[in-house]
Structure 1
């Protein structure tokens, strides 16, 4: 079993608060006592938790961020927006993923219990909303970066206009004279997928809807399946840019021209969207702005400003390029 702050205090013959002051380099502890405490820490191999190191000052001066995975294509943009705000305010950033499932969440929960950070930003992992809600109820300031349509009045959030984004994609295809769209979605369990599909179908009824993952392979296989079924489509609305790139690859493989034969619209506006062949018309998600706004909201809360009851909405934007 690893040593605790109580073990250090007992071996050094001082109180836990004295150990804490030594860890925080507070000047109230005399040199002899401080030296003895440090010798005991070294001898016991005590590794202080972040919460213990900062106990005397009452704050870690760090933000925590929980995300499902670092591999999501737009995650870097969100993280950059958060990091910019945190750095400008003099805060550090502790990043946690749930990629390891229950073991990842268990480790993360120990960091929450240790108060290793002052507030938490969350892109909610699957099955992670209830634990995050409990953390907020336990006193941890929490702000969601809400790309998947998780709306709870008890959890402040920054969100975007997925339904309006779907409408703008449909309106663009309609303007281009397309009336028989193939829609390739992500998993229907995500609120953003349902919102994008509803916005699109309110404007332009699909010829066929194919559900898949947010991957290049989903776009390729969906187009191949539609062609095998003799589906007569003149447009593709893909629920992210990776799906759109896969769809364009499948169309190119069978000699279909984009946009002459089939117009294609994606969603996200990843950097790759400017470099597909042809460059991709897409709906821009303001991911960096969402990260920045969420971090700013959380930092304001730590300075005493109450968190808002309603989500802060940052709108999507249609970016027109050659594919439509």
Structure 2
């Protein structure tokens, strides 16, 4: 079994460990109150961590009403004045890095500090550069050996969602109720993927609106990294504005989100073009989980899909082409 495959299936354990660690962080250190006192919060990451940032920025604004913005680390240290306005709003940053040593993210954090923005770092590595430079750091007890990020994606999202929910005095035990269902979710997704003749597809498209756009973009990256497939990702309704010209009977489209009318309409439009469409909201209902709070678990579908396509192509997912576990320069 590939390391990546093992780590996909370990997510019940990693999510439970994250839940316990985040509760302990709040009990011992308190909440990073500067985030909830800000006028705007910037969410920063690179690669998969940037797609975590997109998801969390939307979740943060949805729950708190505070404006937020997700940006790649390079946009901060390389083009600060073009991305961060000269104003007197209260501002803060959330810096996300699995290793805590990604050069772009660490430089972004330093740039924020130079400009007097308080920062929260989220990482798996307590001895990292990000831990040293951030004002506060949430360190998750997750060991991820694979180059391709899988269980760290879901764990980081859960940890920050918990911080937001605790600040709102919401009951976080809702997350604990899902621990025992993750294996079931994986089985439902595996069964669905088994029904699909993946060999005939030459083009994979992932769509998502709001925080689900973060999942769509991460799904696209997973297939690129794991299976060297031609993939694209878009905010759902943007796909109508030009990109759908490439849709045909060799296109597999996955729509992240809830099974609501707008997604159903989009699904029908794309089926009429000959494409095969997976409505993740509809599929997620089969797991009997209806809470938007664990919407991030829909990403498991893309992780399993990428693994299955890679196996069909006889690609070693533990050695993705041209990639390193930590990007330093």
Report if TM-score (shorter chain) is over 0.5. Answer: no
| Larger RCO, structures 1/2 (Cα 8 Å, 6+ apart) | 2
Q: Which has the higher helix share?
A: 2
With structure 1 as the length reference, what TM-score do the two structures score?
Answer: 0.35
Q: Whose Rg is larger?
A: 1
With structure 2 as the length reference, what TM-score do the two structures score?
Answer: 0.34
